[in-house]
Amino acid sequence: MTVQQTIWQGLKHILGVEDGKGVARALLEPVAIIAITFASTTAIAQPFYVPSGSMQPTLAIGDAFIAAKYPYGYSRYSVPFGLGPSSHDRLLQKMPQRGDVVVFRLPVDPKQTFIKRLVGLPGDRIQMIEGRLWINGKELPLRADGTGKVESEDGTITDSPRYIETLPNGRSHPIYKWTWTGPLDDTQIFVVPPGHFFMMGDNRDNSRDSRVPPEQEGVGFVPAENLVGRAEFVVGSYDFLNAHAIWSWVGELRVSRFFNGVN
């Protein structure tokens, strides 16, 4: 039985309505649609919008993407309005993988929703040395991959070297890196606590992520409870920062990004 059929049967049972009663069915169908929509955003997937450039080149400013709710199980932040109970454990909990692009609630302010790449699991030792990422005492492989266009939050676009980074589990992803001596390029060793994760942006020199502690307006370690879902694919993209004149609006649609998977 599908989700829609289940909800429909439940509504009929509650209200004592049988198939064939056209008026009652007509009244119930809008209620069923609302219930299905609510259930879908709670248990299946939810759309989100990218307002900043910290995940370039994987996600651009103006991307709209779908995040799946089920890969990690469910917490109070997986349901609308955070109505569930607070708990260190997740219902149907599953462990995220290094390399997942994760939507989560900011630990210091759960009203804010962030998206970053998960690079550290509980117990991992994470460190940046001269701009290179080290996990558990090993430097991650990094190979040059040309250059790319980086868009800033003010709409300016600059060229940046692009690299492909490979995580210990073999998953590779692109990053932007234009300096090796920035404030976050040499860090202490971060030991990820139990039940927490370490997040980083793919735009390494412009990301307020787990390298920055919460007291400095950073992300810090992210509790498992704060995970919302895993980014799956881009459904649309619009370069609103450079859409100044009405006649330019259509041209700012990034059609090439539509329906691209998030890897």
Catalytic residues: 54, 116
Separation of alpha carbons 27 and 258, rounded Å? 36
Write the secondary structure of 114-180 as one string of H (helix), E (strand) and C (coil). EEEEEEECCCCEEEEECCEEEECCEECCEEEEEEEEEECCCCCEEEEEEEEEECCCCCEEEEECCCC
Cis? peptide before 57, omega within 30° of 0: yes
How far, in Å, are 118, 194, 197 from residue 167 at the CA level?
10, 20, 15
Separation of alpha carbons 68 and 229, rounded Å? 5
Nearest to 227 by CA among 73, 104, 79: 104
Long-range contacts of 240-244 (CB under 8 A, 24+ apart): 240/62, 241/61, 241/62, 241/151, 241/153, 241/154, 241/155, 242/155
Q: In angstroms, how far is the first alpha carbon of the chain from the final one?
A: 32
Separation of alpha carbons 261 and 167, rounded Å? 19
